[in-house]
Amino acid sequence: MSRFAAPIAEQIWDMKYRFKEADGTPIDITVEDSWRRIARDLAKVEKDPAKWEDKFYAALEDFKYLPAGRITAGAGTARQVTLFNCFVMGTVPDSMSGIFDMLKEAALTMQQGGGIGYDFSTIRPRGADVKGVAADASGPLSFMDVWDAMCRTIMSAGSRRGAMMATMRCDHPDIEQFITAKSDPARLRMFNMSVLVTDAFMEAVKADGPWELTFGDRVYHTVDARDLWNKIMQSTYDYAEPGVIFIDRINQRNNLNYVEEIAATNPCGEQPLPPYGACLLGSVNLARLVSNPFEANAELNQDALTDLVATAVRMMDNVVDASKFPLEQQAQEAQAKRRIGLGVTGLADALLMLGLEYGTEEAAEQTEVWMKAIARASYLASVDLAKEKGAFPLFDKEKYLNGGMVQDLDEDVRAAIGKHGIRNALLTSIAPTGTISLYAGNVSSGIEPVFAYAYTRKVLQKDGSRTEEEVVDYAVQMWRDKFGDKALPSYFVNAQTLAPAAHVRMQAAAQKWIDSSISKTINCPEDISFDEFKEVYMQAWDTGCKGCTTYRPNEVTGSVLTVSESSEAAPGEKPADHVADSGEVIYMSEPLERPQSLEGATYKLKWPDSEHAIYLTVNDVIINGHRRPFEVFINSKNMEHYAWTLALTRMISAVFRRGGDVSFVVEELKAVFDPRGGAWMEGKYIPSILAAIGGVLERHMIAIGFIEGEGMGLKTDPQAEVVAVGEAPKGKPCPSCGEYGLQMVEGCMTCPSCGFSKCG
């Protein structure tokens, strides 16, 4: 039997994590091969590799421990790639040469697939004097535009999708321009943006006091703190950005506050990092650790959790030594502190299996218990590693024990650290797990609630046909397997039905035992009032969160995946399954990117009575092991044909590059007739030279397996059916698979159909 709980899980593995030859031939024949590859590679540094390989394999088996995607895809492949997910770049110097040195470092990091964060507060504000050149500074926003263009260039070269986080302090003179920068829909599209909010600023907001905007020793402006806060809130209310990072709290709670100052985070915010800071990620799948689900004696196996966490910490510590790094400074930073970010996924599903409603006080208390158990097991496992392999190089017993979250650990854990040291300076983080959660059988993502209990996705087959496939939440499928058609209990709630306060309550409960931070999206209803919206952020501040990210669907941000109940439940009755419709499409909002080289074929087409032949070249791209037409070139020495063949070349190629089932092009061309008459070719009457070109394209599509046979292409363009006249769109389209259903999950626009995430 397959280990995959759902077809989408196997498809995600095949697309993203399966080790393949350059031509797409699989090397990992089964998912067990992938687990073995990862386990073997991460066990190589151990004194007894065979023992630890089996132990690591057991942790990976059945998706109990889920290394981040870069580890799953890269470990054991011998490819020169980084296994780290998160990078914050060096401090940006306030000089032209220094700024562009940083730009080069960013490009090198993104070229290897790293998401990066930058603090732009160090660049002098717009209009400030630039000594020696008799000019005014253009300000940090202008240089952010340069970074944005660089990221788009890296993407267009075929690299992994870039992701960047830009931060700016709330007292920088250009902060108001930073706040509103993304109100321009064409600007800074490659950035997530967050304001670094200080304790002093929050106190000034609450006191309705003045706030100075400064750079260096100069005060540029004095504004009303509450007015500035309202500008942040209004932009976030309207455009879902900027986010808010409580930077003083992050530094106060940092275990390493004695050797580093944090001013930026990775793109999703779960890793606040110092200059050149790097971190790797992984998640324990809580949904796989619950015994007797939905029964009165349901419980999460604490012994299994402790053992799994200890194994995961060891595996992640080994990644520090196994990984390559884009920059030497990043390697040195990783080795000096051995930072890891172990988190969870499947939390909401695990709570459901215990009969707990996500967002309630009871669920928050249970979450805090589990997070403390993970923190305790993580720190003790790292102490054991320190006994065996040594503490991280910058460990200072007295300073470490009196800083950050370490102060809150149980006394026996603190005593163990004091006696033996600790291998990893920081250990816990809750990262976005959208793709790996799908790979694990569509368990709930991170600490998010279940977004939709079931939805339908369209799957494009290699012959161009589309099939429908239901994607069901892991816990819901378990309920169905156990109870059949019995309605879901009332404690089954989802992201759309939860009050924002319930989201914040869960984030705050988890944050108490997370030494880094949390990637979490607080879904807000579209009709939430501005005052209620602002209160969400105040609740996050008041309850100890390190930051806050919200998402309110509207015309600017786009609607989210729609969720509706299959039937209305009368008072006292249990609601039916929530079902989401993810839309009808399989087309790209951005064109497919062109690889450096393509395979294709050239066909000679001789139209009767024409002096010159037409030569038709069709090049193909390979996606997920299947060939599909990508571009067309039509050439002829007949100058009468030049204009229309050039136009046809460009138009057909443009259609091919948007992806999806483009076989309708064949049928459209074959239907064109020439009023001057057609011609007989190979025993068939062809109504025009354009119809002949359509026939050539059809033969090519059959030859590469894109369509099954003659006449089996689509008769019309299915994209025309995406949205009916007068009907509202069903959410933004996915740039990877085209489905109209992008949703904000853990701070990232994420596709539930293919696992694409804006943040990588």
The order of strands in the sheet holding 466-472 is 466-472, 454-460, 578-581, 562-565
**Rounded to an integer, what distance in angstroms lies between the CA atom of residue 543 and that of residue 587?**
43
Q: Are 613 and 606 in contact (CB under 8 A)?
A: yes
180 backbone dihedrals φ, ψ, rounded to 5°: -100, 5
Q: Cα(32)–Cα(62) distance, rounded to whole angstroms?
A: 9
261 has catalytic annotation: no
SS3 of 588-649: the string is CCCCCCCCCCCEEEEEEECCCCCCCCEEEEEEEEEECCEEEEEEEEEEECCHHHHHHHHHHH
Look-up of token digits 């470990």: 75
Q: Which of 105, 270, 333, 668 is catalytic?
A: 270
Name the catalytic one among 86, 151, 170, 268.
268
- Asked if residues 69 and 16 have their Cβ atoms less than 8 Å apart, the reply is yes
Distance CA 232, CA 236 (A): 6
Give the separation between CA 676 and CA 683, rounded to whole angstroms. 20
**Host H or E run for residue 87:** strand 86-88
Asked if 221 and 231 touch (Cβ cutoff 8 Å), the reply is no
Considering 85, 251, 254, 266, which one is annotated as catalytic?
266
Q: CA 63 → CA 21, 435, 753, distances in Å? A: 24, 13, 20
User: Is 494 known to be catalytic?
Assistant: no
- CA angle 341/502/546 to nearest 5° reads 40
Question: Annotated catalytic, 170?
Answer: no
How far separated are the first and last CA of the chain, in Å rounded? Answer: 31
d(CA 754, CA 760): 13
Please provide residue 198's backbone torsions phi and psi, each rounded to the nearest 5 degrees.
Answer: -95, 165
**Which residues are marked as active site?**
266, 268, 270
